[in-house]
Amino acid sequence: MHLTQNLEKEFIYSITHWFQPIYNLKNNSVIGYEALLRDASDLQLSPVNILKNAEQKGCRNILDLTSIKNALDIYKGESHYLFLNIFPSTLLKGNFLSWWDIHVPRKIPVVLELLESEPISDWEKLKAIINELKRRGIKIAIDDMGAGYSTIRQWVELDPEFVKLDKYFSENLSVNTRKQKIIKSYADLFSDTSKLIIEGIEKKEDLETIYHLGVQYAQGYFLGRPSPRKKDNDNKKHVDKILKI
């Protein structure tokens, strides 16, 4: 099946996206928004269940592409980065780049987050596709480093512009010295090649801790909850106040 076929005929779910801000803690500004999948039907399925159903029906890659199209349609007119989740297997489909050139406007600044929930089956082909995407101005992020199949090898092989650290490491970070050491080591490791984003920041104390560890970028409920196409200006003021430390 070709990726450029009419996806709406192949995909039966009604989906939409909510957007969660990602902050630059050094100047208290939003650098972008991650598009998070939501069920737009009356069923109100969780994103996990949507993915499971798509995998069971053999259309997970179609869900990927439909999700990207939906998020791009909603996000039109924005100037911040749009972080889009994608499975490595979708990138490895034979005519993915042709599909991308047809459906993705060049004016939208896109960051593709490689999901951690599946292994990479062909490193050389994936590297070649990512290099082609970079030539088109697309940036790459490794999602949830430290969870699933996201490993240091991805950083070495794929040279991503962003690395997102799994939310496990931010939970109760302020009182966990081992996690603090791990985050500090990652911050030092990536400092001259990739921007490190800590996910799952839900407490003031954990935000202050990553700030003092030298981490510049963060995402989480404490900074801004996912919302349907909405700027979180109230949270912006909140963060400004917190980070004057």
* pLDDT tens digits along 133-153: 999 999 999 998 876 666 788
* pLDDT tens digits along 190-238: 989 999 999 999 999 999 999 999 999 999 999 999 999 854 444 554 5
pLDDT of residue 114: 94
Q: Tell me the C-alpha distance between 16 and 13, whole Å.
A: 10
- The residue among 148, 74, 139, 152 whose CA lies nearest residue 113 is 139
pLDDT of residue 180: 97
Residue 202, domain member (yes or no)? yes
Q: What is the extent of the structural domain holding 131?
A: 7-242
* Range with lowest mean pLDDT among 93-102, 121-130, 145-154: 145-154
Contacts of 65 (CB under 8 A, 6+ apart): 3, 7, 90, 99, 103
Checking DSSP bridges between strand 110-114 and strand 15-24, what pairing results, if any? Answer: unpaired
pTM: 0.88
Residue 2, domain member (yes or no)? no
Residue 149, domain member (yes or no)? yes
Residue 96, domain member (yes or no)? yes
Length of the chain: 245
* CATH number, domain containing residue 186: 3.20.20.450
Residue 1, domain member (yes or no)? no
Q: Tell me the C-alpha distance between 58 and 50, whole Å.
A: 12
Residue 108, domain member (yes or no)? yes
Contacts of 157 (CB under 8 A, 6+ apart): 123, 127
Checking DSSP bridges between strand 139-145 and strand 110-114, what pairing results, if any? Answer: parallel
How many helices and strands, by DSSP H and E, does the chain display?
A: 10, 8
What is the maximal distance between C-alpha atoms in the chain?
55
Give me the amino acid identity at 126. L
Please identify which residue in the block is written with the tokens 């799952």.
200
What is the number of structural domains in the chain? 1
| 104 vs 234 pLDDT, higher one | 104
* pLDDT tens digits along 31-47: 999 999 998 887 788 88
Helix axis angle for 204-212 and 233-242, nearest 10°, is 60
Residue 140, domain member (yes or no)? yes
